Structure 1
């Protein structure tokens, strides 16, 4: 499956327009509506452009569009931060320089030893480094304990999207699997907007779309998410439920890489269960600290 920038733009703008009612957009509605959401003319009015120009945009042509128009369009369509970032990424990819095909990326680059040492120093919390395709490039012992079900497969690097959609054990790790699945797709969708010429990402999307109806349904929704902070529910048979906060940080010097760390509020049952997980990891994952977990 090749990511088509014009099709992405068209489907994204159409889907955002369809979800917005006149009342939400603050426009006066006249006459019966054959389809849900705003009319093209109403979006054009909100963005301060002609209807002809907006039709050109919605047909997928963002070449040469100014940041001012993009900002107005994002405001008119009530895009959140993730969606606004995605729109700007699509516009950059449509530019003459952005549309040039980039050199193929390796499936996963080697982690710098200093980054693995950083992960290993985080002894009390799960932490890992991933790329935009959700390949796990490095992980610490606590992270390996949390995601040990994903590591039971011999395929490396571990890919969290494949795990969520193609491995039945993902439902055991993620009690709220529906939310995890939707978040996974929204991260991949955002990455596709940032780098539509990543062949490995296109191959992954094609594989998942072919093998998972759940993935196909979510992919066509065109939802995106930056996934920087929040909470996630895990369940480990060794310790029970873990409701953990997460923080996702960009890795300096490695565009597209993210360091994600999970933690629990002190004095809570989740903190107690996280400590139990650390004890389990010390017993069952002897020798994993200080090693690249992608091996």
Structure 2
């Protein structure tokens, strides 16, 4: 798949956000567009303007790692953006398939029993997702915490964070106190995955669906922002137990390439910890001893369908 347009738009968008002052160069003459000129980026990267112009047109296949590093420095890319640039280059020359093993899962991916056992051993919320932001598996508390997302998923598709965020606005704005931040993050994660695996048809279909149905998504997608989503703090509003402030850690599953395990934790003795204890208590009450069903919302039990 030709990714020239993605390369062009990414480089242009990164160049547009760097001012001459930020780059440490003189600001000479009027500028027709924001940011650095092509010639200034070429000088900062130590390449000719002709060569950089060719790269910005999308002809990035075969570019050496040293040139990519120089571009990353010139454009002041962060770690996630630098990685994205390398993914775009590898995809252009056909070597992206060797960077990370890829799976083409069935529509209904099912976790191995041992993986589900591991999830269920965690007392805090735990979920597994893929790069398209499909919510593929969870422990009981993780499912109860994300009840709103499960409720809005169709019977044909597994729950998906992106569809929930952009296509179910009332529920999403209630679940995410800072919806704009959640929406920015969601679009950036999808853009990161698109650079890593440009041949993922399901991802292209998802982006097409969201672009057609959501102006908010179109605006964020056109910004070409990317993000590494490894650790931090998130804020949620659960309809039954109120506001939650949770630390999270995300790790890629070596045994399941392309999938990410995310674990949440509350500060001990905090209001969030008490809220999670309450949610866990309700979950346990609904489950009952030895009951294999899964909570979809407080007071409602359904068999698992992921």
TM-score normalised according to structure 1 size: 0.93
Q: 1:235 matched to which residue of 2?
A: 237
- 8 Å Cα contact 1:108-1:135 kept in structure 2: no
| 8 Å contact kept, 1:130–1:257 | yes
Structure 1 portions without partners, runs of 5+: none
- Answering whether residue 261 of structure 2 is matched by residue 259 of structure 1, we say yes
Write out the 4+ residue segments of structure 1 that deviate beyond 6 Å after TM superposition: none
Tell me, in whole angstroms, the C-alpha distance in 1 between the residues paired with 2:107 and 2:86.
Answer: 26
Decide whether aligned partners of structure 1 residues 22 and 108 sit closer, same or farther in structure 2, where only a CA change above 3 A counts.
farther
The structural deviation recorded for 1:283 is 2.6
CA distance in 1, matches of 2:254, 2:97: 25
Larger mean CA deviation between 147-156 and 74-83 belongs to: 147-156
Q: Which residue of 2 aligns with 1:166?
A: 167
Kindly provide the CA deviation profile for residues 161-200 of structure 1, in whole angstroms up to 9, marking residues without a partner as x: 1111111311111111111111111100000000011000
| Pairing of 1:141-220 with structure 2 (within 5 A) | 141-152=140-151, 153-155=153-155, 156-167=157-168, 168-220=170-222
Gaps of 5+ in 2: 296-301
SS at structure 2 position matched to 1:52:
helix
| Gap change, CA 1:47 and 1:149, over 3 Å in 2 | same
Cα offset, 1:273, TM superposition: 1.3
Deviation at 1:99, TM superposition (A): 8.5
Contact 1:158–1:294 under 8 Å retained in 2: no
Question: Deviation at 1:103?
Answer: 8.9
Aligned partners of 1:105 and 1:200 also within 8 Å: no
Contact 1:136 1:157 in 2 (8 A): yes
Check conservation: 2:103, 2:257, Cα contact below 8 A: no
Q: Determine the structure 1 residue equivalent to 2:117.
A: 117
- Equivalence for 1:107: 107
Q: Is the 8 A contact 1:250 1:258 kept in 2?
A: yes
Higher relative contact order (CA 8 A, sep 6+): 1
- 1:33 to 2:31 alignment: yes
- 8 Å CA contact 2:87, 2:96 repeated in 1: no
Give the stretch that moved more between structures: 3-12 or 51-60.
Answer: 3-12
Farther-moved stretch of structure 1 (91-100 vs 219-228): 91-100
| 1-structure distance, mates of 2:23, 2:44 | 8
Task: Kindly indicate whether the alpha-carbon contact (under 8 Å) linking 1:141 and 1:289 is maintained by their aligned counterparts in 2.
Answer: yes
How far apart are the structure 1 equivalents of 2:13 and 2:227?
Answer: 15
TM-superposed CA distance for 1:288, in Å, is 3.4
Say yes or no: does 1:288 pair with 2:293: yes
Given that 2:230 and 2:250 are in contact with CA atoms closer than 8 Å, whether structure 1 keeps it comes out as: yes
What SS is found at the alignment partner of 1:72?
A: helix
Provide the secondary structure at the position in 1 that maps to 2:6: helix
Native 8 Å contact 1:136 1:294 kept in 2: no
Residue 46 of structure 2 is aligned to residue 51 of structure 1: no
Alpha-carbon distance between aligned partners in 2 of 1:189 and 1:293, rounded to the nearest angstrom: 30
The DSSP-based 3-state class of the residue aligned with 1:145 is helix
Partners in 1 of 2:39 and 2:234 — Cα distance? 40
